[in-house]
Amino acid sequence: MSRSLFKYHPIFGYQYIPGLKARIQHEGGGYLVKVNSAGFRCDREFAQRKSSDRYRVLLFGDSYTAGDGVSNKDRYGDLLEDMVPGLEVFNFGLSGSGTDQQYLIFRDLAVGLDYDLVVVGVLVENIRRVVARYRPYESESGEIYLQAKPYFELDRRGTLQLHHVPVPNEAIAPDRLAATDRQFVDTGGDYEWLRRLVSKFGSGFKDFLQRASCYQPLPAYDRPDGPSWLLLQAILRRWAEEAATPVLIVPIPLYQYVEGTSVAANYQRRFAELSNLARVTVHDPLSDLVCYTPAERRAFRFDRDCHPTPAGHRALAASIAPAIIKALAIVQRLDRC
């Protein structure tokens, strides 16, 4: 998504331009972006108080939640309002963000809001983003530059330490980045070459290569003591501790897992570990998504853009809705205690 849709934010790096309304060109035919006064793609304003006859969910995530490629009304967060009676969703999704930035959004903006449930849509690829300190972008003239992002580290005691806040705002030429920081640039993982092949030959060729190579996109989930997982786990643990309500964590799978070209077992094991946290429920939608036919699953994403199509968002919402209903029933029981 074009950087022209965003403005600088000193805590979580950037946000959508408040009040923005735009139509974005896209292979799916184009889509509408509408941004509220707080700077997020949500048709609702973030009112502090909620009606007593409504349930309010605060939804966090990256471009899969913010809705790259689809209009606001076609996103899984908006569709959940139709599937769960009395539900209103405040969508804090931010395209390109990591779970670390999403936690900072929660910490900065959820204070003082009435809400019944926090839902964190963790695109499983975010295990790479939380260890990144810089992300590359392309300028309007086609030049590549780096932008700093906020990030956490675990100290020797296992405590989260926040860095890059206020977030540096200057663009950095890649060749001017300190050598010690170059390993912390999020360049798309070990298989960036696949992305280049897609641009040249189309997604069908990439699908063939992934099947032939037994492609596993996220080896950082392989070990329970892997440093990237320990960092992501610590961020989600702190988030759950600070939330005023129960938290529903939804690991959103990459299409390779949905279409069966990669094995999801390791990331599923890691996220299952989070179920042991107090007031945390983990809902893994993959078991529902793989029940669709191969043709239906292939239609859950665009051809060249891996983001969910409207059909993909509908399937995701259909999987998450029962988990939200169950979580809200838990909230009701807690309120009666």
d(CA 1, CA 218): 23
Q: What does the alpha-carbon distance between residue 282 and residue 277 come to, in Å, rounded to a whole number? A: 10
Calculate ∠ Cα 181-185-191, nearest 5°.
135
Backbone torsions φ then ψ of 130, nearest 5 degrees: -70, -20
Q: How would CATH label the architecture of 3-336?
A: 3-Layer(aba) Sandwich (3.40)
For the whole prediction, is pTM greater than 0.85?
yes
DSSP 8-class letter at 281: E
| Of the candidates 184, 167, 181, the residue with the CA atom closest to the CA atom of residue 128 | 184
Per-residue model confidence (pLDDT) at position 337: 55
The pLDDT value recorded for residue 196 is 52
3-state SS class at 162: strand
Domain boundaries of the chain, sorted by first residue: 3-336
Residue 87: strand, helix, or coil: strand
What is the C-alpha to C-alpha distance for residues 238 and 284, in angstroms, rounded to an integer? 20
Question: Could you say which DSSP state residue 74 is in?
Answer: G
For residue 310, give both structure tokens: 């409207």
Which token pair is 74?
């076609």
131 Cβ contact list (under 8 Å, min separation 6)? 151, 184, 227, 228, 231
pLDDT in tens for each of the 337 residues of the chain?
Answer: 677 899 999 999 999 999 999 999 999 999 999 999 999 999 999 999 999 999 999 999 999 999 999 999 999 999 999 999 999 999 999 999 999 999 999 999 999 999 999 999 999 999 999 999 999 998 888 899 999 999 999 999 999 999 999 999 999 999 999 999 999 999 765 444 445 545 555 555 445 444 443 457 899 999 999 999 999 999 999 999 999 999 999 999 999 999 999 999 999 999 999 999 999 999 999 999 999 999 999 999 999 999 999 999 999 999 999 999 999 997 776 566 5
> Residue 299, class by beta-carbon neighbours within 10 Å (0-12 exposed, 13-18 middle, 19+ buried)?
middle
Q: Are 130 and 100 in contact (CB under 8 A)?
A: yes
Residue 48, both tokens: 């502090």
pLDDT of residue 331: 74
Looking at residue 63, the DSSP 8-state letter turns out to be H
For residue 136, what pLDDT is reported?
92
DSSP 171-203: -B-GGGS-GGGGGGB--S-TTHHHHHHHHHH-H
Whether the CB-CB separation of 145 and 139 falls below 8 Å is answered with: yes
- 275-296: burial string, b at 16+ Cβ within 10 Å, e else: eebebbbbbbbbebbeeeeeee
Residue 210: its pLDDT value, please? 47
